[in-house]
Amino acid sequence: MSETAEHTGHHIDVKQFHPRAQAAIHNPKIRKNFRSAMDGLMSKRKTAFEGWDLETLRDLGANVRLRALANLPDLLEQLEEKLTENGIKVHWAVDADEACRIVRDICKARDAKTVIKGKSMVSEEMELNHYLEEQGIEALESDLGEYIVQLADETPSHIIMPAIHKNTGEISQLLHDKTGTDLSNDVEYLTASARQQLREKFMNADVGVSGVNFAVAETGTLCLVENEGNGRMTTTVPPCHIAVTGIEKVVPSMEDVSALLALLTRSATGQHITTYFNMISGPRKAEELDGPEEVHLVLVDNGRSAIYQDDELLDTLRCIRCGACMNHCPVYTRVGGHAYGTTYPGPIGKILMPHLIGLDEGRHLPSASSLCGACGEVCPVKIPIPDLLVRLRQESVDGDKLHPAKVRGHGAKRSSMEAMIWKGWAWMHASAGIYRFGTGAASKFRALQPSKAGAWTDYRTAPKLAAKTLHQRMKERGQ
Amino acid sequence: MVDPIKVYPSKPAKVYFYGTCLVDMFYPDAGIAGVELLEREGIEVLFPQDQTCCGQPAYTSGYHDQARSVAKAQLDLFPGDWPIVVPSGSCGGMMRKHYPDLFKDTPDEVKAAEVAGRVWELTDFLLNVCHIKLEDLGEPTTVAMHTSCSARREMGVAEVGPKLLGQLKNVNLVEQIRPEECCGFGGTFAVRHPEISGAMVSEKVETLVDTGAKEFVTTDCGCLMNIAGYAEKNHKPVSGQHILSFLWARTQGKGGQQS
């Protein structure tokens, strides 16, 4: 069990979801950037799975993850043992703060001044960059999207494509302002100039920090999926490599990786395979010419073992971080990633973040969904996201006496006013006589129906009460 | 892991009709149309007068105690073993998919699962249980269709509406872009997050208008009051009705399979 880290630096008030969402909705640039990006990603995913028996593959993916989670404690021990055999030092962090301190201590022991980073959402969860800066250590993102976000002093708006909220023009302007490149809409030129600047940093970095996509227990291998080669540079060029990952990322064997990898790349970017797939199995051996002298793995709990205690919530930990749920989410598409104010935005963020930051902090997250089910439909490991959203809604209002809420911060959204409304609603609808009397009376006096009905009529006309209810009409028909 | 495969019953002599509260108060014509279509198929329709609401609004709002008390009042309405048909994917989904969870570990667990197993979305029932054959008596027209998310994803009936409309020889069905995207209704979501819901429905209406159809049909009254309500308030040239109302109006008094 872990308490949330008191994040420093750029902490955003998650509770301010509404104003941020509203601002995003009225920002045509945000709307256009996300709509076109998400349309593109949805179509690429669809094409990538053509000719596949997707449902069978998703069942396989779900089962691989379920089996791994069922044996999680044993697998983690096995992983530690194998990694240690392979010369990788394993560290355990109960929360984000401890994980940050572990990274700092490794850096300090090497007198490291500069860290180059491959993309890692767990490091975002830790807010590692700001922490290291406070410790006098420069941390530079090397994934192009993360690099752009870092230059702009922002946070990622998508877990796979961190700078998806920006269009080419905005990126060009940013690179121009911060690094002096020429203004250009030529993506190749912009990428090349960023690469040029990063190359030097790679050569001089003291430590490389990366994430992990799959940690294989049987062989003690850390798998890293990426497209830009920056992941390989990060994990091989600096003399020390620190991988950080959540404890749920472990799988039993290499065989399990194949199914998850096939699902991950297709679901995320519609790619059959990424440009790079790194399998890290230890530091440089005596006879080898390159690779780091030291390799560390920091296994971060940060709320995960609390999720693990509940049979239903456990499904949250199946996630392989493909981002398909956000790509297909009509809410995410409208408000963008920053509106959520959380490390993980979109549907997965709505079911994961309440555990990381508490349901009191994240009280608005589970309700920000129409429960359309698009997320659950595309999830490559079949996480029942809509069901988990409903579960968290129940937890956020302490709404079920039979199944008392247990997520930290539960009940924070319960208001006596709303509770009273639902009690009144239940009173009316649990008794057929009262219901028929009430609906019948409403129909009879429908001329008195107000034309305004709260926020509903800000956008729409009010639905019109019929002259007679279906109950009355069926009764007239003798039914 | 795998969603249960749907096994359709053979055509029964009777069905229970669960009208839903939205149809009851706002769209009773859609309910009557459903009843007429069933009766034309030779099925006797039983309408339990004590029905109220499936409990979904409280359920999705997290108030499961209240949802359970309302849902419990529905469980005794269907004493025979006839199928329960619902003119809504949303309420049908609540009963079929969520009742078993809602009553788990309660004395009503077995009854809830038994009721859930008999629930069918009405258009699905007409097409795949009644094997309805529709004879189109209407003038040539063009319509678009919005299948609700729950009809599509919980009840798995996305193919049904287009197939039924496809039987109507004078109806030209056009498809909007992103047909599978939510219209933004989502029950209480529309009032808890009005701006997001408003942004979603405005785009849905835009894509419907872009098809050139002046009319759309839908499986669910929630979507209907959302989409049609937005179009009406914003003077968009598209109106809507429940697919059952449309099917009955086009085929009134004729057709049907006499068996």
Structure token pair of residue A459: 């956008």
pLDDT at B103 over 90: yes
C-alpha A274 chain-centroid distance: 20
Closest-approach residue (CA) in chain A for B28:
A470
Inter-chain residue contact B49 with A436, CB threshold 8 Å: yes
Inter-chain residue contact B62 with A393, CB threshold 8 Å: yes
The CA dihedral of A374, A376, A381, A382, to the nearest 10 degrees, is: -140
Please say which residue of A288, A305, A322 terminates a domain.
Answer: A305
Which residues contact residue A172 at a Cβ distance below 8 angstroms, ignoring those fewer than 6 apart?
A181, A183, A184, A185, A190
* Closest of A258, A247, A344, A236 to residue A297, by C-alpha: A247
From chain B, the residues in CB contact with A428 under 8 A are 52
From chain A, the residues in CB contact with B193 under 8 A are 18, 21, 331, 367-368
From chain B, the residues in CB contact with A59 under 8 A are 1-2
Inter-chain residue contact A399 with B62, CB threshold 8 Å: yes
The verdict on A12 touching B (C-beta cutoff 8 Å) is no
A6 against B205, higher pLDDT: B205
The verdict on A188 touching B (C-beta cutoff 8 Å) is no
CATH number at residue A90: 3.40.50.10420
The verdict on A447 touching B (C-beta cutoff 8 Å) is no
Inter-chain residue contact A432 with B47, CB threshold 8 Å: no
Are A87 and A112 in contact, with CB atoms under 8 Å apart?
no
Asked if the structure places residue A471 within a domain, the reply is yes
Looking at the structure, do residues A78 and A214 belong to the same domain, yes or no?
A: yes
CA angle at residue B43 from B17 to B147, to 5 degrees? 55
Tell the residue number behind the tokens 């496809």, with chain if given. B166
C-alpha B22 chain-centroid distance: 11
Q: Where are the domains of chain B?
A: 14-128, 141-251
From chain B, the residues in CB contact with A397 under 8 A are 61-63
Closest-approach residue (CA) in chain B for A370:
B186
Q: Which A residues 13-52 touch B at CB under 8 Å?
A: 18, 21-22, 25, 31, 39
Please say which residue of A305, A320, A354 terminates a domain.
Answer: A305
CA distances (Å), A469 to each of A444, B32, B65, in order? 9, 11, 27
| Residue A396: φ, ψ to 5° | -75, -15
For residue A9, the model assigns a pLDDT of 44
Closest-approach residue (CA) in chain A for B224:
A463
Inter-chain residue contact B47 with A396, CB threshold 8 Å: no
- Facing residue for B195 by CB, picked from A22, A387, A454: A22
The verdict on A376 touching B (C-beta cutoff 8 Å) is yes
From chain B, the residues in CB contact with A374 under 8 A are 149, 153, 180-182
Are B153 and B232 in contact, with CB atoms under 8 Å apart?
no
- Mean of all residue pLDDT scores within chain B: 95
Are A454 and B191 in contact, with CB atoms under 8 Å apart?
yes
- Facing residue for A390 by CB, picked from B59, B185, B196: B59
Please count the structural domains in chain A. 2
Question: What is residue B160's three-state secondary structure?
Answer: helix
* Closest of B199, B149, B188 to residue A413, by C-alpha: B188
Mutate to test the interface with B, among A371, A435, A470 (most CBs of B within 10 A): A470
Distance from CA of B101 to the nearest CA of A (A): 10
Inter-chain residue contact B45 with A63, CB threshold 8 Å: no
DSSP B4: P
Tell the residue number behind the tokens 């108060």, with chain if given. B25
From chain A, the residues in CB contact with B19 under 8 A are 470-471, 474
The verdict on A397 touching B (C-beta cutoff 8 Å) is yes
Distance from CA of A195 to the nearest CA of B (A): 37
For residue B191, the model assigns a pLDDT of 93
Are A459 and B194 in contact, with CB atoms under 8 Å apart?
yes
Closest-approach residue (CA) in chain A for B59:
A390
Give the integer Cα–Cα distance in Å for B13 and B33.
19
Are B218 and B146 in contact, with CB atoms under 8 Å apart?
yes
| Residue A225: φ, ψ to 5° | -100, 130
Beta pairing partners, B116: none
From chain B, the residues in CB contact with A425 under 8 A are 57-58, 66, 70
- A114-117 and A207-210 strand pairing: parallel
The verdict on A10 touching B (C-beta cutoff 8 Å) is no
Rounded to two decimals, the pTM is 0.96
Asked if the structure places residue A240 within a domain, the reply is yes
Q: What is the pLDDT averaged over residues B220-245?
A: 98
Mutate to test the interface with B, among A59, A387, A392, A460 (most CBs of B within 10 A): A460
pLDDT at B255 over 70: no
pLDDT at B176 over 50: yes
pLDDT at B5 over 90: no
CA distances (Å), A368 to each of A17, A248, A310, A376, in order? 9, 26, 23, 15
For residue A180, the model assigns a pLDDT of 92
Mutate to test the interface with A, among B61, B153, B219 (most CBs of A within 10 A): B61
Which residues contact residue B253 at a Cβ distance below 8 angstroms, ignoring those fewer than 6 apart?
B137
Asked if the structure places residue A324 within a domain, the reply is no
Walking along chain A (479 residues) 10 residues at a time, the average pLDDT comes out as 42 87 96 96 98 96 98 98 98 98 98 97 96 97 96 96 95 95 93 90 96 98 97 97 98 97 98 96 92 97 97 98 98 97 97 96 96 98 98 98 95 96 97 96 92 91 96 95
B119 membership: H or E segment, kind and range: strand B119-121
Is B141-251 assigned to CATH 3.30.428.10? no
- Facing residue for B182 by CB, picked from A330, A401, A473: A330
> What are the pLDDT digits (tens) for B66-90?
999 999 999 999 999 999 999 999 9
The verdict on A476 touching B (C-beta cutoff 8 Å) is no
Amino acid at A183: L
From chain B, the residues in CB contact with A390 under 8 A are 59-60, 62
Are B52 and B73 in contact, with CB atoms under 8 Å apart?
yes
Give the integer Cα–Cα distance in Å for A385 and A164.
23
Which residues contact residue A395 at a Cβ distance below 8 angstroms, ignoring those fewer than 6 apart?
A354, A359, A405, A406, A407, A410, A411, B62
Are B71 and B54 in contact, with CB atoms under 8 Å apart?
yes
Give the integer Cα–Cα distance in Å for B54 and B98.
10
B256 membership: H or E segment, kind and range: none
Asked if the structure places residue A327 within a domain, the reply is no
B94 membership: H or E segment, kind and range: none
DSSP alpha helix (H) spans, chain B: 21-25, 28-40, 56-60, 64-75, 89-93, 99-102, 109-116, 122-128, 149, 160-166, 189-192, 194-210, 221-233, 243-251
Distance from CA of A336 to the nearest CA of B (A): 11
From chain A, the residues in CB contact with B201 under 8 A are 459-460
Which domain does A217 fall in, by range?
A: 58-165+201-305
Inter-chain residue contact A429 with B55, CB threshold 8 Å: yes
Asked if the structure places residue A150 within a domain, the reply is yes
Tell the residue number behind the tokens 């560390």, with chain if given. A296
Please say which residue of A305, A320, A347 terminates a domain.
Answer: A305
Give the integer Cα–Cα distance in Å for A476 and A459.
36
Distance from CA of B140 to the nearest CA of A (A): 29
Asked if the structure places residue A89 within a domain, the reply is yes
Question: What is residue B92's three-state secondary structure?
Answer: helix
From chain A, the residues in CB contact with B149 under 8 A are 370-374
Asked if the structure places residue A315 within a domain, the reply is no
For residue A6, the model assigns a pLDDT of 43
Give the integer Cα–Cα distance in Å for A464 and A445.
12
ipTM: 0.96
Inter-chain residue contact A374 with B180, CB threshold 8 Å: yes
Closest-approach residue (CA) in chain B for A464:
B26
Which residues contact residue B116 at a Cβ distance below 8 angstroms, ignoring those fewer than 6 apart?
B95, B96, B97, B99, B100
